[in-house]
């Protein structure tokens, strides 16, 4: 038998989530069975359980957008994976389960030496950050990239990946106490997300171009990024933490000819080819293995204590991700 976390109706994750038992099935054909080890609790997971995500929950449903595990059994036609391989599910759901069975192409093989906790957080935030930096604007070493919510999961990943690629980052945060932490992580410059912070960033840039900005907040914070962007610069919006609509001053469209793109990495995964997946996952997995890309962890909590995990994930002031131990 195998256990998973499921919710029969949408609602508060602390209240509707339950641990249920399922039969342990054998893989057939091109299927593999993966013994899941760890899975993070992301805001997207909470929204999915609440029924507020970008795709319907259709309960009863098993949440969990990402995780990491090991191949436990393979079907007779499987050619790309063997028992013992460390893998990351590409399914985009159902990861809060002790076992997953799916076709082999729904799993990405990772290095044996990779930290499984860090690997469990690879699929969403690091891939989003990598995509923003590599798939929208042609950047050269030394170029500046601006972002808000720099202390978020994507923000931290973007700082580390940009540093690895020789790019420089201007980062906005909401609290002064976050500035030293972001600098230690590798940020080139960190400012408060207000008008004074924008003015200080402009002084630092001294007319140096900013071709790309990453927006996770919306509202006035997005306007701050537009103030920094150069002529025909691009702002990629991947989140809306302020829950305020994106407002674009006319002057930035008319006189700067700014471009605005949206990014939902889930949709990219649905369309990405094997070559495209390898292009992004291979360098990120190497960075994790070499401790060049580290995602902060607040707590690792056993799956049976899921109510505690959901409560902690919904609290402010955390020091990183809440991780479910699926053992």
Mind listing the pLDDT tens digit for each residue in 168-183?
A: 999 999 999 999 999 9
| Structural domain includes residue 279 | no
pLDDT computed for residue 301 by the predictor: 98
Mark whether 176 and 220 lie in a shared domain.
yes
Look up tokens 């580390």; give the residue.
160
pLDDT in tens, 155-211: 999 999 999 999 999 999 999 999 999 999 999 999 999 999 999 999 999 989 999
| Structural domain includes residue 283 | no
- The residues pairing with 74 across neighbouring beta strands, listed in sequence order, are 32
What is the rounded distance in angstroms from the CA atom of residue 270 to the CA atom of residue 119?
20
| Structural domain includes residue 280 | no
Mark whether 132 and 109 lie in a shared domain.
no
Alpha carbon 21 to its chain centroid, in Å, reads 29
Residue ending a domain, among 265, 286, 306, is 265
List the domain range (segments joined by +) for residue 93. 2-121+295-325
What CATH number is given to the structural domain containing 41?
3.90.180.10
Mark whether 133 and 243 lie in a shared domain.
yes
Mark whether 62 and 136 lie in a shared domain.
no
Mark whether 80 and 53 lie in a shared domain.
yes
Single pTM value for the model: 0.94
Q: How many domains does the chain have?
A: 2
| Structural domain includes residue 7 | yes
What CATH number is given to the structural domain containing 223?
3.40.50.720
| Structural domain includes residue 288 | no
Mark whether 134 and 32 lie in a shared domain.
no
| Structural domain includes residue 235 | yes
pLDDT computed for residue 37 by the predictor: 98
Mark whether 108 and 158 lie in a shared domain.
no
What is the rounded distance in angstroms from the CA atom of residue 213 to the CA atom of residue 1?
48
Q: Minimal CA–CA distance to 125: which of 145, 98, 150?
A: 150
Sites in the chain below the pLDDT cut of 70: none
pLDDT computed for residue 248 by the predictor: 82
Mark whether 60 and 13 lie in a shared domain.
yes
Mark whether 133 and 114 lie in a shared domain.
no
| Structural domain includes residue 282 | no
CB burial of residue 321 (10 Å; 0-12, 13-18, 19+):
buried
pLDDT computed for residue 179 by the predictor: 97
pLDDT computed for residue 319 by the predictor: 85
pLDDT computed for residue 247 by the predictor: 84
Catalytic status, residue 38: no
| Structural domain includes residue 311 | yes
Mark whether 256 and 305 lie in a shared domain.
no
Mark whether 225 and 311 lie in a shared domain.
no
Mark whether 146 and 260 lie in a shared domain.
yes
Name the catalytic one among 53, 112, 238, 278. Answer: 53
Provide DSSP, 258-273.
-EEEE--HHHHHHH--
Q: In what order do the strands lie in the sheet with 259-262?
A: 189-192, 168-173, 144-147, 210-215, 234-237, 259-262
């Amino acid at each position: 038998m195998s256990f998973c976390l499921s919710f029969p109706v949408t609602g508060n994750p602390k209240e509707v989530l339950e641990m249920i038992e399922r039969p342990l099935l054998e893989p057939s054909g091109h299927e593999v069975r993966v013994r899941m080890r760890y899975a993070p609790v992301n805001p997207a997971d909470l929204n999915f359980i609440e029924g507020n995500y970008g795709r319907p929950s259709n309960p009863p449903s098993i949440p969990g957008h990402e995780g990491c595990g090991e191949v436990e059994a393979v079907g007779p036609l499987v050619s790309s994976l063997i028992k013992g391989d460390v893998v990351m599910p590409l399914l985009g759901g159902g990861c809060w389960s002790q076992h997953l069975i799916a076709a082999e192409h729904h799993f990405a093989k990772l290095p044996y030496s990779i930290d499984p906790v860090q690997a469990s957080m690879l699929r969403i935030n690091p891939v989003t950050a990598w995509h923003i930096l590599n798939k929208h604007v042609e950047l050269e070493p030394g170029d500046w990239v601006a972002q808000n919510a720099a202390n978020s999961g994507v923000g931290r990943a973007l700082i580390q990946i940009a540093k690895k690629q020789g790019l420089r980052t201007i980062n906005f945060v909401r609290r002064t106490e976050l500035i030293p932490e972001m600098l230690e992580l590798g940020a080139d410059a960190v400012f408060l997300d207000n008008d004074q912070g924008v003015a200080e960033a402009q002084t630092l840039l001294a007319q140096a171009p900013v071709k790309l900005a990453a927006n996770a907040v919306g509202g006035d914070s997005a306007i701050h990024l537009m103030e920094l962007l150069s002529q025909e610069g691009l702002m990629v919006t991947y989140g809306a933490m302020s829950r305020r609509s994106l407002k674009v001053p006319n002057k930035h469209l008319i006189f700067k000819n700014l471009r605005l793109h949206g990014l939902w990495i889930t949709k990219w995964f649905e369309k990405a080819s094997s070559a495209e997946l390898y292009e992004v996952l291979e360098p990120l997995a190497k960075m994790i293995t070499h401790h060049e890309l580290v995602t902060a962890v607040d707590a690792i909590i056993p799956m049976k204590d899921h109510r505690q995990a959901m409560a902690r994930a919904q609290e402010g002031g955390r020091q990183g991700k809440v991780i479910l131990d699926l053992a």
